Amino acid sequence: MKYSIANNDDENLLTIESQGYPKILVVDDIRANLIAIEHVLSDLDVELITTTDPYEALTYTFKYDFALALVDVQMPKLDGYQAAEMMQSAEHSRQIPIVFVTANSLDESNVIRGYDVGAVDYITKPLNPFILRSKVNVFIDLYNNKLALAELNSQLETARHKAEDASNLKSELLASMSSALKTPMHSIIGMTDMGIINIDKWDKSRQVDNLREINNNSRSLLLLLNDIVDLSKLEAGLMAFDLSSNEVVSVVSDVVKSLKPLMHEKSIDVEINSTQEKILVDFDVARIGQVVLNFLSNAIKESPVNGKIQVSISDCRGNEVPKAVRVSISNCGGGIPDLLIERIFDKFTNDQSQDNPGSAGLGLAICKEIIGLHNGKIWAENIPDGGAMFSFEIPIRKN
């Protein structure tokens, strides 16, 4: 509980720290009355802000949110009715319940005037401790219920916004998926239609080319569907991870070897640099290999013919002790557009471009989920001299 006794004529202030309890404003020009109220309410979980000056009491309403105001009716500078009228006229204090404390007889005219200026109840002097405590408890309960309702409303509003965001995202994803699926599907339908019409006209070579195109587009559809399934499993926490101690440099080297045919087509050279020959980390080989494969495939796609790709592997140290391993893959392409770099790992945004309109844009989103489930971090940045660099870090196992 916190007691604060203050007025313009006395600089002494008694303060006992509270623990965030509901605040009650107590206004009475006689100090002994304030002390009596403090004594009665001393064991309640409330914070009392008390003063003998009604004008000072009005300034407190700007600073604090009060659950209740106990206001003496007869005061020389400003009587309780006038103080209540001023509180009721201000937006910030209009909702504070006012209970008058009076030594006057509760005749009808006084009661009507009190309710007319905004009071909700009366307590007569001399104070009955049981009545005072009971009435204060009622208003404290009302105040706590008001706070709980406000918190519930806030949570409901947050949930509503999240539901709206989820609905909008779902609509965006469905629209993007529809676009990504339509491109290869239209190609397959077109090729099969032409194949049926020209089955007796095309020679074997033309039909093989046609079937090859259908096969390529079918594989694109399968990759997209696999990506959708993978991302759904990752986001739902349904994908199993085989976390074990593995050697990072070896995994990266294996992925580079698997992409040599693509590198050969564009005469691209890949250089691997590592600060150590072996760096042991706990990770899922297949999933981290998937991230490296995605980074490297994109780098090959973005790099020009005869380009060069740099793969950097290093351990990140904290207090001279390795705490994480970082893998960075740099290309010498055109870089990432400024509008895209902040959302490069978002679903259905990272790979959609005029050069690749049929891409689903799920690869980097899957990478983000994989690295997140390894308690790591992932990012992309442009290289000042040209090109872009994609990086991820995963923590090294503690011995």
pTM of the shown model: 0.54
DSSP H stretches of helix in the chain: 31-40, 54-63, 80-89, 108-116, 129-197, 204-236, 248-258, 260-265, 285-302, 338-341, 363-373
352: domain range? 244-395
User: Of 236, 263, 291, which marks where a domain is finished?
Assistant: 236
Helices and strands: H and E segment counts in the chain:
11, 13
pLDDT of residue 288: 95
Residue 350 is predicted with a pLDDT of 47
Query: How far apart, in whole angstroms, are the C-alpha atoms of residue 47 and residue 60?
Result: 13
- pLDDT band, residue 385 (cuts 50/70/90): confident
**Beta strand pairing call for 280-283 and 269-274:** unpaired
Q: Which residues 6+ apart lie within 8 Å of 22 measured at CB?
A: 45, 46, 47, 67, 68, 140, 143, 144
Residues 198 and 283 in one domain: no
- Render pLDDT for 211-238 as a digit per residue (tens, 0 to 9): 988 998 888 788 778 888 888 788 788 8
Which of 236, 262, 280 is a domain's end point? 236
* Residue 119's CATH number: 3.40.50.2300
**Angle at Cα 132 formed by Cα 129 and Cα 138, nearest 5°?**
135
Q: Assess contact for 299 and 336: CB atoms under 8 A.
A: no
CATH value at residue 177: 1.10.287.130
Residue 137 falls within a domain, yes or no? no
Position 348 scores a pLDDT of 66
Place of tokens 């893959």: 329
What pLDDT, on the 0 to 100 scale, is given for residue 25? 94
Which amino acid, 76?
P
- Our count of domains for the chain comes to 3
Tens-place pLDDT, residues 234-285: 878 888 888 999 999 999 999 999 999 889 999 999 999 998 888 889 999 9
Pairing of strands 66-72, 98-102: parallel
Q: What is the CATH number of the domain that holds 383?
A: 3.30.565.10
Q: What's the pLDDT at 227?
A: 80
- Compute the half-sphere exposure of residue 179: CA atoms within 13 Å on the CB side of its CA: 16
Whether 331 maps to a domain, the answer reads yes
Does some domain include residue 138?
A: no
Question: Which of 236, 268, 293 marks a domain boundary?
Answer: 236
